[in-house]
A and B are shown apart, each in its own frame.
Chain A
Amino acid sequence: MSENTAVAPSTTMPRAAAASAAARSGSRARLGWLVPTIYIVFLMVPIYWLLTMSFKTTNEILGGLTLWPHKFTFANYQTIFTDPSWYMGYVNSIIYVTINTVISVVAALPAAYAFSRYRFLGDKHLFFWLLTNRMAPPAVFALPFFQLYSAIGLFDTHIAVALSHCLFNVPLAVWILEGFMSGVPKEIDETAYIDGYSWPRFFTKIFMPLIASGIGVTAFFCFMFSWVELLLAKTLTSVAAKPIAAAMTKTASASGYQIGLLAAAGVLTIIPGAVVIYFVRNYIAKGFALGRV
């Protein structure tokens, strides 16, 4: 499997693209753009709805259906950016997501190398066991996690959330990185050793630059899954490290039902993801394709 998938993206992408374009051109080609366009419109309508609501006053939202804000207001955003209990939520989320991404990638690098280069006692079982943690429903772990992190005194800290997200992000990172590493020919390792490189020096100076895009893709996925996960993040925090999405639940309870505020907070949670995705747009598809189960 490794020979056709691992080599493919770097060498055959443009050719393949041109070829499948040729294969697909024909009577269908003129209407082919319709399907993705309809799909993207379908994706964008709810987001547009959220965006318009974030600029509306509560009265306008509750008053009936308007397709765009008639009384354009920034008040919702103003509330979020001036109230620490709101904007600290973003800061907290970004802190633990960053810590988690760094831990996941750093721990996964040597492990993925081991899986891609060596056979060792129990390697296949270990790999499957790692993957089973990606399958563990967070709902199952919420309560035990709360007790575990309370017991070791990490409750309501960023590091607790970052560590707990390792449960599913580390296996994912190993999975994706291993795919990228298997695409690098083994001769490179051997040549480096003959040239007198020690393993750590070889790994950081030669090997890591070779799989730089793989590391980028992995970091992206770790960021993404840590950013969107909430059940654990909410369970493990109360005040000091409370994530933004948990702060959103208070609009419904404490201060009445402020839909506009909720919408504005929602819009702001989409932005970091959109920025990150823009930077890795050329690698997203590749990252999934190379990961092997």
Chain B
Amino acid sequence: MDKTWNNRAWFMVLPVLVLVAFNAIIPLMTVVNYSVQETFGDNVFLFHGVGFFQDVLTSERFHSALLRSLAFTAIILAIEIPLGVAIALTMPNKGVWVSVCLVLMALPLLIPWNVVGAIWNLFALPQIGLLGRMLNGIGFDYNYTRNPVDAWFTLVLMDVWHWTSLVVLLAYAGLSSIPDAYYQAAKIDGASRWAVFRFIQLPKMKRVLTIAILLRFMDSFMIYTEPSVLTGGGPGNSTTVLSIDLVKIALGQFDLGPAAAMSIIYFLIILLLCWVFYTLMMRNEEQ
């Protein structure tokens, strides 16, 4: 659509700008403030420069937390995106079942995040939880509060349970916007099922899939509530992802400086990756 050049449009954007700036810029500046100042309590602050940033960037603890976050995000994307597309492709296309599927699939998305954690916490308890008892019953020595591998397994399973539906909904929306002429043409050409997917469905889903990947990347990289309720970062530090570590430092130990420096680094990583994504997407769209 051709857009008119009109700088007075700024007035329409103004309420949003004020609202978001109030919530984003003031707290962000507070964080920046903390990150460069040392405090010994009593509201006495000393300028500390980039010291905290250096500490955080060179600390073993930060590296391992970052690594865990990246690993978690990679696993989540590798499972949820293909699974979500596969489910969307096999969804019914018409009739009452579409509504039934959509409502039931969207249900996990609307459960408060700490309730999700609580559900899985109870569901996976080795002695009295259904999942825990089942896994132990078929011969696994499963205990997510003791064994790091089990904790990761539970965490990933919980996230797949919680968020795959988002990918399904998006992919399904992309699929249902494909005009039937495309399928007719494919039929005339005698295209195989794979060819239909590769050359019609996948390109048409590209845009919604980009949104799906972007949303899943951001949310899985920022995940806090669910793992903190499920495992609390344990056993040991094995599921302490970045945000859990951050809250431990900021609220647990009350080390504001390092926590603030870590917040900023954390935010910058997300921002950088999303910016790369955003520019790539925009370039694709302009073509």
B140 interface hit (Cβ, 8 Å): no
Looking at the assembled complex, report how far the CB atom of A5 sits from the nearest CB atom of chain B, in whole angstroms: 7
Whether A277 contacts B115 by the Cβ 8 Å rule is no
Chain A residues near B6 (CB-CB < 8 A): 118-120
A2 interface hit (Cβ, 8 Å): yes
From B1, B102, B123, B224, give the contact of A137 (CB < 8 A): B224
Q: How far is the CA of A47 from the CA of B115 in the complex (A)?
A: 11
From B28, B180, B187, give the contact of A144 (CB < 8 A): B28
Q: How far is the CA of A266 from the CA of B113 in the complex (A)?
A: 11
- Chain B, 199-225, contact with A by CB distance < 8 Å: what is the 0/1 string? 000000001101100100010011011
Closest 10 CB pairs of A and B: A19-B180, A273-B110, A289-B173, A144-B27, A8-B177, A114-B12, A285-B173, A114-B9, A118-B9, A144-B30
B70 interface hit (Cβ, 8 Å): no
Q: How far is the CA of A111 from the CA of B86 in the complex (A)?
A: 37
Looking at the assembled complex, report how far the CB atom of A243 sits from the nearest CB atom of chain B, in whole angstroms: 8
How large, as a class, is the contact surface on chain A? 35 or more
B37 interface hit (Cβ, 8 Å): no
Whether A20 contacts B9 by the Cβ 8 Å rule is no
Spot the interface stretch: B15-23, B53-61, B144-152. Answer: B15-23
From B8, B256, B271, give the contact of A132 (CB < 8 A): B271
* Most chain B CB neighbours (cut-off 10 Å) among A39, A61, A134, A166: A39
A91 interface hit (Cβ, 8 Å): no
Q: How far is the CA of A197 from the CA of B8 in the complex (A)?
A: 18
A210 interface hit (Cβ, 8 Å): no
Looking at the assembled complex, report how far the CB atom of B252 sits from the nearest CB atom of chain A, in whole angstroms: 12
B120 interface hit (Cβ, 8 Å): yes
Whether A43 contacts B208 by the Cβ 8 Å rule is no
A103 interface hit (Cβ, 8 Å): yes
B156 interface hit (Cβ, 8 Å): no
Spot the interface stretch: A69-77, A80-88, A226-234. Answer: A226-234
**For chain B residues 153-191, which have a beta carbon within 8 Å of chain A?**
161, 164-166, 168-170, 172-184, 186-187
